[in-house]
Structure 1
Amino acid sequence: MLYSAIILGLISSLHCIGMCGPIAMMLPVDHKNPSRKTLQVLTYHLGRLSAYSILGLVFGLLGRGFYLAGMQQQLSIIAGVIMIAIVMVPEKSFARYNFSKPAYKIISKVKSSLGRQFKKRSYKALFATGLLNGFLPCGLVYAALFGALAMQNILYSSAYMFLYGMGTIPLMSTVVFAGGIINPSFRRHFTKLVPYVAVLIGMLFIVRGLGLSIPYISPGNMNLFVGAQPHCR
Structure 2
Amino acid sequence: MHDLLPQLLSALVLGLLGGGHCLGMCGGLMGALTFAIPKEQRGRRLHLLMAYNAGRVFSYACAGLLTGMLGWAVANSPGAMLLRVIAGLLMITMGLYLAGWWSGLTRIEGLGRWIWRYLQPLASRLMPVSTMPRALLLGAVWGWLPCGLVYSTLLWSASQGNALHSGLLMLAFGIGTWPVLLATGLAAERITALLRRRSVRVAGALLVILFGLWTLPGPHQQWLMGHTPHTMNHGMGHTMTPQMNHADMAHE
Q: Distance in 2 between matches of 1:80 and 1:146?
A: 11
1:80-131 CA distances to partner (integer Å, 9 max, x unpaired)? 2234446365459839xx843xx54432122232233223422222112211
Residue 221 of structure 2 is aligned to residue 208 of structure 1? no
SS of equivalent residue, structure 2 residue 18: helix
Question: Against the structure 1 CA distance between its residues 46 and 130, is the aligned structure 2 distance closer, same or farther, given a 3 Å change threshold?
Answer: same
The reply on whether 1:16 has 2:22 as its aligned counterpart is yes
Structure 1 alignment gaps of length 5 or more? 222-229
Residue matched to 2:153: 144
In structure 2, the CA distance between the partners of 1:61 and 1:195, relative to structure 1 (3 Å rule), is farther
Q: Can you give the 5+ residue segments of structure 2 that lack an aligned partner in the other structure?
A: 1-6, 233-248
Confirm or deny: 8 A CA contact 1:77 1:205 kept in the other structure: no
In 1, the alpha carbon distance for the partners of 2:30 and 2:165 equals: 28
**1:64 Cα deviation from its structure 2 partner:** 0.4
Partner of 2:166: 157
Distance, in Å, in 1 between the alignment partners of 2:226 and 2:185 is 37
Q: 8 Å contact 1:10–1:168 — kept in the other structure?
A: yes
Inter-CA distance 90–205: structure 2 relative to 1 (3 Å threshold):
closer
State how far apart, in whole Å, the 2-side matches of 1:163 and 1:214 are. 28
The secondary structure found in structure 2 opposite 1:204 is helix
Verify: 1:2 aligned to 2:1, yes or no.
no
Partner AA of 1:209 in structure 2: L
Whole-angstrom distance in 2 between the partners of 1:219 and 1:55: 37
Contact 1:46 1:127 in 2 (8 A): yes
Which letter does structure 2 place at the counterpart of 1:130? G
Match of 2:47 in 1: 39
Secondary structure of the structure 2 residue equivalent to 1:26: helix
The equivalent position to 1:56 in structure 2, one of 64, 77, 94, is: 64
Taking only aligned residues, the RMSD between alpha carbons, in angstroms, comes to 3.6
Asked if the contact 1:74/1:209 (under 8 Å) is kept, the reply is no
User: Is the contact made by 2:113 and 2:146 (CA closer than 8 Å) also made in structure 1?
Assistant: no
CA radius of gyration, larger in: 2
User: What displacement does 1:51 show?
Assistant: 0.8
The 5 A counterparts of 1:79-118 are 79-85=87-93, 87=97, 90=103, 94=107, 99-100=110-111, 104-118=113-127
Residue 161 of structure 1, CA deviation? 0.2
Q: Percent identity?
A: 25
1:204 partner letter: F
> Does the CA-based 8 Å contact 2:55-2:139 persist in structure 1?
yes
**CA gap 1:205/1:83 in 2 versus in 1, 3 angstroms:** closer
Note if 1:126 corresponds to 2:135: yes
In 1, the alpha carbon distance for the partners of 2:228 and 2:69 equals 23
CA contact (8 A) 1:59 1:145 kept: yes
Q: Distance in 1 between matches of 2:210 and 2:190?
A: 33
Distance 1:4 1:55 in 2: 18
**Comparing 108-117 and 194-203, the one that deviates more:** 194-203
- Distance in 2, matches of 1:83 and 1:177, equals 31
Q: Report the TM-score, using the length of structure 2 for normalisation.
A: 0.70
